[in-house]
Amino acid sequence: MKIGLVSFHTCPMADLGGKDAGGMNVYLLNLAAKLDSLGHTVYVFTRSHQHSEDSDIPLGVRSKLVHINAGPAESPKEELINLVFEFSRNIQIYMENVDLFFDILHSHYWLSGLVGDLLSKSWQIPHVITFHTLAKTKLRALTVGDEHTSRSASEYKLMCSSDKVLVLTQKEAQDINQLYGSFGNKISVVPPGVDLEMFYQSDKNLAKDKLSIPQGSNTILFVGRIDPIKGLDVLVKALSMISLVEESETILYIVGGNDDDNEYYQSIKSLVAEMGLDDKVIFTGSIPHDALALYYSAADVFVLPSHYESLGFVVIEAMACGTPVVASRVGGIPSVVEHGSTGYLIPWRCPEAFASQIEVLLKNKDLHRFMSKEAMKKAYSLSWDASSEKAANLYSKVISGWINTQAI
């Protein structure tokens, strides 16, 4: 098959933890690479950004990541809806120049869905969409937000017009049916995987040495965007409540974007200072994806206090490195974290609850070893090979169904 993947608002190769760069980026790169290894041709389209003008980057043997010009590189995400037609038109021009035709399009996120909808109709091919996050689920979890006014309506229209909605968890399918209407027959669940060649358990002491983390310290790790939906304020407050033996220093590493113009980042820095935790919290900024394994291996506990997560790829990566997880019981996280086995799920936004479960893992070495092994078992059961094969089979069924419908 020849497959087009659309990632309008974010480049799949952007450093994780930066603005608009997270689990979706991981998903796209792994899906494209594995589909290529199965013999399919995959073109991933993203908007040109700084240092990437007109660049095509190979993905596997026959596939590419293609940067397409559309508006100024510095255009903010909230204005990209005005560039949908330009981006779509320039993809069409690119495809005409390379003389290539797709069998199917798979769009990622609602803005990409608007592009995919236009292109699929123009090319008369089927369109699959994965939203990754939905406006109504985010607003239900976090009552304040700056979502585009047309996002919810656009998501609903795309659910109606697309040929298939591919979701990563059963919880996401339930959310769509509860919040947007009954789309059960159109939704298919295809769980993602984890790159086990990149993420695996390595020597903790060696990892700490490489990162200049003091040996014997209790290392807590967060990885993700610095955004209100991630609940970092809960984690910082929890850190202030953790009481361990004084000689065992406790350090929180926050791996993610730390742009000075990010108001939430500034508020977290202020909270850290206000609580007297400056010497216990380290902001690393964004780092390349392939450097994350070292942090996961060095960490004693991985914490994700999000108010909502469609899945939480960072949770699976941490578990693959043998690091137990303490995370919010929200979204798709419970489909990965098994409470009391691979980590702990916190059902409310309560710093005390997070502090208590983090303490349990840091104090009880036998429990920590047990959960570390169980976490790796769970992560190793999630394969990108299996996920990409399921996606490819879904594409084939959608194409066949679409052709039969056109023949009627």
- Round to whole Å and give the CA distance between 240 and 275: 7
Q: How far is CA 321 from CA 183, 196, 229, 372, 386, in A?
A: 37, 9, 25, 8, 20
Q: How far is CA 52 from CA 14, 49, 386, in A?
A: 11, 6, 32
Say which residues have a Cβ less than 8 Å from residue 402's Cβ, sequence separation at least 6: 125, 126, 163
| Mean pLDDT in order along the chain per 10 residues (408 residues) | 95 68 86 96 90 73 94 84 96 95 97 98 97 89 66 96 96 93 92 92 95 93 93 96 73 89 92 95 91 96 94 94 96 93 93 96 95 96 92 97 78
Q: What is the pLDDT of residue 307?
A: 92
Q: What is the pLDDT of residue 310?
A: 85
Same fold, 2-193+384-407 and 204-380: yes
Closest listed residue to residue 6, CA positions, set 97, 124, 131, 99: 131
Strand partners, 129: 107, 165
Q: What is the pLDDT of residue 17?
A: 55
Say which residues have a Cβ less than 8 Å from residue 4's Cβ, sequence separation at least 6: 42, 43, 45, 102, 104, 105, 106, 119
Q: What is the pLDDT of residue 4?
A: 98
Strand partners, 139: none
- Round to whole Å and give the CA distance between 208 and 300: 10
List pLDDT tens digits, range 219-268.
Answer: 999 999 899 999 999 999 999 999 765 556 899 999 998 777 889 999 99
CATH number of the 204-380 domain: 3.40.50.2000
| 12 contacts 28 by C-beta, under 8 angstroms | yes
Closest listed residue to residue 310, CA positions, set 128, 162, 109: 109
Q: Domain extents for the chain?
A: 2-193+384-407, 204-380
Closest listed residue to residue 152, CA positions, set 113, 190, 101, 119: 113
| 120 contacts 98 by C-beta, under 8 angstroms | no
Whether pTM exceeds 0.95: no
- Round to whole Å and give the CA distance between 182 and 376: 36
Q: What is the pLDDT of residue 131?
A: 96
| 320 contacts 194 by C-beta, under 8 angstroms | yes
* CATH class (in words) of the domain with range 2-193+384-407: alpha beta
- Round to whole Å and give the CA distance between 266 and 149: 26
